[in-house]
Amino acid sequence: MGVRFLLSVLPLVAALQHLADPPAPAIAAPASKSYEYIVVGSGAGGGPLAARLAQAGKRTLLIEAGDDQGDNINQAVPVFHAYSTEDPLMSWDFFVEHYKDEKRQKQDDKYTYVTTEGKYYVGKNPPPGAKPKGILYPRSGTLGGCTAHNALVSVAPHDADWSLIQNMTGDDSWNPKNMRRIFEKMENAVYASKISSGHGHSGWLTLNLFDISQVGLRFNLLDVNLLEVLYGAAKVTGSGIASSLGNLVGLLQSDVNSAAPSRETTEGMWAIPLAVKNGRRTGSRDFILEVYTAKTADGKQRYPLDIALNTFVTKVTFGTNGSRPVANGVEYLKGQYLYRSSPKSGKNSTSTSGRFTAEKEVILAAGTFNTPQLLKLSGLGPKEELRKHNISLLVDLPGVGKNLQDHMEIGITHTLPSGNTFKIISDCNFNHAPGDKCLEEWAKSSTGIYSASNGFPAAVLKKTSVAAEDPNFGHISDLFLFGGLAAFRGYYPGYSKDVYQHGNWTWVVLKAHTANNHGTVELRSADPLDPPIINFNFFDAGDPAAGKRDVQAMVEGVKLGRKLNTAEVSMVDQWPGPMVQDDKGLEDYVKNEAWSHHASCTAAIGADNDKNAVLDSKLKVRGVDGLRVADASVFPRIPGFFVAIPTYMIGEKAAESILTGK
């Protein structure tokens, strides 16, 4: 399971890249050591923020720890998102814990060890001498951050996510109407009519839907098994009987990103909006490069944006002559694969050190794990933890690295009877080997199933029996089940090979607005290249009452997923398996096997009287000047169903706040 794919050496892949990709633009080394604004991290928050500042004429430096992998086929092909998370050229492999009790943690079949030979072992019976590593939590170290490897799902957050911040801080700029304006500003909704409620059509982020009718026509086939799975899901969820392909297409065009109030409460089948443009992944990288490469009429750079690649920030620096510390720059190491979460770290890695100066502000957008790590290394964090690592305390901020939250997920996988398959992917090998007709079609024309989908064409929203117990989100569907042609049970080394198997269908149950906020991100050492210690404290290990509700919701989701899988087609239960039937068995399955990958909330916005609030409502770090945060760590409660869109919105809002002072 631990075998990695060094895809750059595969001749077919190289040839396909040449056919499919325009050459990535050359990114020059920064021309200066001093900028008005320095943005650390190029993901969903930092990328749009840096681009907007530069568009406004502000001299901006965007710093990225990795290089640009935009012409890497694993990043470009929508359906290869799993491969992108394990591509050593761009992956950062964090290994996390779900529980403090090691014995309990090891009940997870995905638990990973390092053997005496230095290889990964995944499972419950490690060989003698193997050392516990944890649960794989894929992150990305490349231009675009995690938008370069996510599953492209682009679902807008709920109005209540913004009302929560508005009410908590008293800042009306967070009101849902204003935040919807920001969403429309950045969106280019190709799939939605221009008269549709709450959509933008000229923004930088292109969103599309999986078009099952076009794919079917293109391959001139009727995938009876796929249609029966989807028909069954429509019947079970009360979405109406999809008695024809046309009716089914109608269900799979339903707009989960509409501004209509009903989108927050309507259960049933929905389409999944994807960040796909012209058959390719799109995200922060595209917007960054659009701004970076823009030229004036005489061929000069239009916007003052510089990009520093392979530049790992180790510390924010401060001036301390005034009444409050003022951020005035960053220290960094220059080199490839320096961070020890990279699979290529330590393999002939060399670095040089340096410093960039910020004349106005530094904005951290390094992500939910790395932003709190960087704050602490810079002297901002819990005083006891900083003292433990001999780091000079600048400001005691006890909330840094606390409040870690995530959406909980669990998979329900069924397999078609022997000899059966889903015809829609019958020509797809998913293995980068010669003869993959689906990959060849994508390479020639950016069309076909590889361009049209992330492999998960349908979603089901469900409100569970415990949803109403949440005072902030009790009116909203709390489960998002997304179904696809995959065998997906979470993350472990080598999972990307296993997920692409013919004849499998998985419903992934995602629990939104999880109630547990007891996860932590703590320093492993004072060495900035050491990944932090991360423990999510799942379920009852954090807040027992909240954990009980989350488990109950997910058990209801597993039961629903089983019904969806077997309503109209005969399939074999592979995961959790036929032996797991009663509620106790399902609860154990959820507690042992659940995973997550939308980490949030570790540098949270909060009220002025909240001692654990790290940021004010303008995303400014408390106790200092000239420093903000703009990534998923800023949320006080994890938003919506997926965090990419809300984090893009944070980047956009941060830019507006900086430029307008509001």
Number of C-alpha atoms within 13 angstroms, CB side, residue 136? 28
Which of the two residues, 231 and 294, has the higher pLDDT score?
Answer: 294
Q: DSSP code of 31? A: S
Q: Does pLDDT of 19 surpass 80?
A: no
Q: Residue positions in the annotated binding site for FAD?
A: 150-153, 313
Task: Establish if 387 belongs to a structural domain.
Answer: no
Q: What single DSSP character describes residue 149?
A: T
DSSP 261-326: GGGGT--EEE---B-EETTEE-SHHHHHHHHHH-B-TTSSBSS-EEEE-SEEEEEEEEE-SSSS-E
Buried b (16+ CB within 10 A) or exposed e, 583-618: eeebbebbbbbbbbbbbbbbbbbbeeeeeebbbbbb
Answer whether 330's CB lies under 8 Å from 63's CB: yes
Compute φ and ψ for 55, nearest 5 degrees. Answer: -60, -30
- State which amino acid sits at residue 656: E
Work out the average pLDDT over 97-107.
95
In whole angstroms, what is the distance from residue 565 CA to residue 230 CA? 9
**What confidence tier does 197 reach under pLDDT thresholds 50, 70, 90?**
confident
The tens digit of pLDDT for each residue in 127-140 reads 999 999 999 999 99
The residues near 300 (Cβ < 8 Å, ≥ 6 apart) are none
248 pLDDT higher than 70: no
Domain membership of residue 607 (yes or no) is: no
Say how far residue 583 (Cα) sits from the centre of its chain: 31
Count Cα neighbours of 575 within 13 Å in the Cβ-side half-sphere: 22
H, E, C per residue of 179-229: HHHHHHHHEEECCCCCCCCCCCECCCEEEECCCHHHHHHHHCCCCHHHHHH
Model confidence at 238, pLDDT cuts 50, 70, 90, reads: confident
pLDDT in the model for residue 569: 84
pLDDT band at 193 (very low <50, low <70, confident <90, very high): confident
The answer to the question of residue 523 being in a domain is yes
What pLDDT band is residue 627 in, cutting at 50, 70 and 90? very high
What's the whole-number mean pLDDT along residues 337-347? 93
- Domain carrying residue 427: 204-283+406-593
pLDDT > 70? residue 168: yes
SS (H, E, C) 45-96: CHHHHHHHHHHCCCCEEEECCCECCCCCHHHHCHHHHHHHHCCCCCEEEEEE
User: In this predicted structure, what is the pLDDT of residue 134?
Assistant: 98
pLDDT at 8: 34
The reply to whether 294 falls in a domain is: no
Q: Residue 587 and residue 565: Cα distance in Å, rounded? A: 20
589: pLDDT confidence band, cut at 50, 70 and 90? very high
pLDDT confidence band for 318 (50 / 70 / 90): very high
Structural domain contains residue 430: yes
Q: Provide the number of structural domains found in the chain.
A: 1
Q: Look at residue 572 and tell me if it is in a domain.
A: yes
Largest CA distance in the chain: 74
CA of 503: how far to CAs of 214, 292, 311, 627, in Å? Answer: 22, 44, 43, 51
Identify the weakest region by mean pLDDT among 61-65, 162-166, 438-442, 607-611: 438-442
Report pLDDT for 227: 82
pLDDT in tens, 31-64: 999 999 999 999 999 999 999 999 999 999 999 9
pLDDT digits (tens, 9 = 90+) for 540-578: 887 888 899 999 999 999 999 999 998 888 899 999 999
Strands in 365-407 per DSSP E: 380-381, 395-396
pLDDT at 431: 82
Which pLDDT value is given to residue 223? 77
Query: Residue 522: in which H helix or E strand, if any?
Result: strand 520-522
Residues sharing a CB contact under 8 Å with residue 550, sequence separation 6 or more, in sequence order = 408, 511, 514, 515, 516, 539
Reported as half-sphere exposure (CB side, CA atoms, 13 A), residue 313 has a value of: 32
Residue 92 within any structural domain of the chain: no
pLDDT for residue 450 is more than 50: yes
Least confident of 45-59, 201-215, 638-652: 201-215
Over residues 481-489, the mean pLDDT reads 94
Instruction: Report the 10 Å Cβ neighbour count for 178.
Output: 14
What's the one-letter identity of residue 438? C
Question: For residues 48 and 287, is the Cβ–Cβ distance under 8 A?
Answer: yes
**Cβ–Cβ < 8 Å for 96, 340:** no
Reported as a pLDDT band with limits 50, 70 and 90, residue 3 is: very low
What does residue 492 show for φ and ψ, rounded to 5 degrees? -160, 160
What is the pLDDT of the chain when averaged over all its residues? 91
Greater pLDDT, 19 or 234: 234
Q: What is the CATH number of the domain that holds 437?
A: 3.30.560.10
Cα 590 from Cα 409, distance rounded (Å) = 9
List the structure tokens of 431: 């293995």
What confidence score (pLDDT) does residue 247 get? 63
Q: What is the pLDDT of residue 11?
A: 37
CA 236 to chain centre: 29
Percentage of the chain modeled with pLDDT above 70? 92
Q: Which two tokens stand for residue 396?
A: 């005691």
**Cα dist from 656 to 21, 51, 310, 518, 610, whole Å:** 33, 12, 28, 32, 25
Q: Which amino acid is at 565?
A: N
Q: For the chain, report the end-to-end CA distance as a whole number of angstroms.
A: 50
Res 354 pLDDT > 90 = yes
Residues 6 or more apart in contact with residue 606 via CB below 8 angstroms: 168, 169, 399, 612, 613, 614, 615, 636
Cβ-count burial of 224 within 10 angstroms (0-12 exposed, 13-18 middle, 19+ buried)?
A: middle
Please tell me the predicted confidence (pLDDT) of residue 516. Answer: 87
When pLDDT is cut at 50, 70 and 90, the band that residue 146 belongs to is very high
pLDDT of 213 above 60:
no
Reported confidence tier of residue 246, pLDDT bands at 50, 70, 90 = low
Q: Residue 195: its pLDDT value, please?
A: 62
Whether residue 277 is predicted with pLDDT greater than 70 in this model: the reply is yes
Q: Quote the crossing angle between the two packed helices 176-186 and 644-660, to the nearest 10°.
A: 100
Number of C-beta neighbours around residue 561 at 10 A:
28
pLDDT digits (tens, 9 = 90+) for 280-304: 999 999 999 999 999 999 999 999 9
Place of tokens 């490469």: 293
Residue bearing the bigger pLDDT, 303 or 194:
303
Least confident of 2-16, 133-147, 188-202: 2-16
Residue 350, in any domain of the structure:
no
In the numeric block, the tokens 């089914």 are attached to 248
CB 133 within 8 A of CB 2: no
Q: Which candidate, 583, 376, 454, 473, places its Cα nearest to that of 149?
A: 454
Q: In the structure, what pLDDT confidence band is assigned to residue 9 with cuts at 50, 70 and 90?
A: very low
Task: With a cut of 90, say whether residue 219 has pLDDT above it.
Answer: no
Could you tell me if 376 and 402 are in contact, meaning their C-beta atoms sit under 8 angstroms apart? no
Q: Is the pLDDT reported for residue 243 higher than 70? A: no
Give the global pTM. Answer: 0.95
**Averaged over 356-364, what is the pLDDT?**
99
Instruction: Give residue 234's pLDDT.
Output: 85
User: What is the three-class DSSP state of 140?
Assistant: strand
Q: Is the peptide bond before 576 cis (omega within 30 degrees of 0)?
A: yes
Residue 449 has a pLDDT of 87
